[in-house]
Homo-oligomer: A and B are copies of this chain.
Amino acid sequence: MSVNTSPDGPSPTTPGKRRRRSAAEAKQLVLATAAARLKAQGLEGLNLTGVADQAGISHATIIHHFGSSEGMRKELIRFMTRELLGDVLVALQRDDSPATLCEELFAAIADNGHAQLLAWTAVENRASFADPILANQDLFRGVIERVAMRLYRHGQNNGPAAELPSASAKELKQARMIVLLVATTALGLGIAGKPLTALLELDADVEREFPSWLAEQIGLER
């Protein structure tokens, strides 16, 4: 008895079928949906009922998996942060020139709503939102160091490699400053690229040209 089709109306609401996922699958579904909504609708897209409806589940299910609304948002930050780091790592795998690497870093930061993610953390002053990023701090630092060295190779691998002690303090700082420049620029462009180019009366595709233009300005070799 209690057949799925429920011949006799068991209640005003038909129970309907349920899809039962593993906990990991469910969380993945929620986070992917939330990321899409953040990108499409901004912060207001991150309410429980909105995400739940779009994911085809009930909002109580999200609370079940993440504990609370804030729990979901924290995990979303962690999720997107890892995504961003993954993109950077992929770019590092390729053995591209510094200029090309610069362009790929731009893409990783400005695309896929990652800049929006960082903008979000900037307007949310709750300290707890820094935690998911701090948790990946070591991972970040390793990646950043590699990026810094790769971007800064220009001017070094022209001369004999043995001449310099692997990296003097001054050079290390210069390398990091360049990474800081690329990161902040990409972030700013990802957040306000469209209105800024419009105000400057620049073509819309300047946003695409910009990374290579910047690479040229600061003398990254191709």
Contact = CB atoms under 8 A, between A and B. Distances in A.
Interface of A: 40-45, 115-116, 118-120, 122-126, 130, 133, 137, 140-141, 144, 148, 173, 176-177, 179-181, 183-189, 191-193, 195-197, 199-202, 206, 210, 213-214, 217-218
**Total copies of the chain:** 2
Contacts of A214: 181
A213 B125 contact: no
Give the interface centre of A115, A122, A140, A183 by most chain B CB atoms within 10 Å: A122
6 contacts: A41-B125, A133-B195, A181-B185, A183-B196, A184-B185, A217-B217
A65 to B, nearest CB: 24
A119 B191 contact: yes
Contacts of A181: 185, 214, 217
A189 B191 CA distance: 12
Contact of A185 (B42, B176, B185): B185
Given A188-B186, A189-B184, A199 B125 contact: no
Nearest to A109: B188
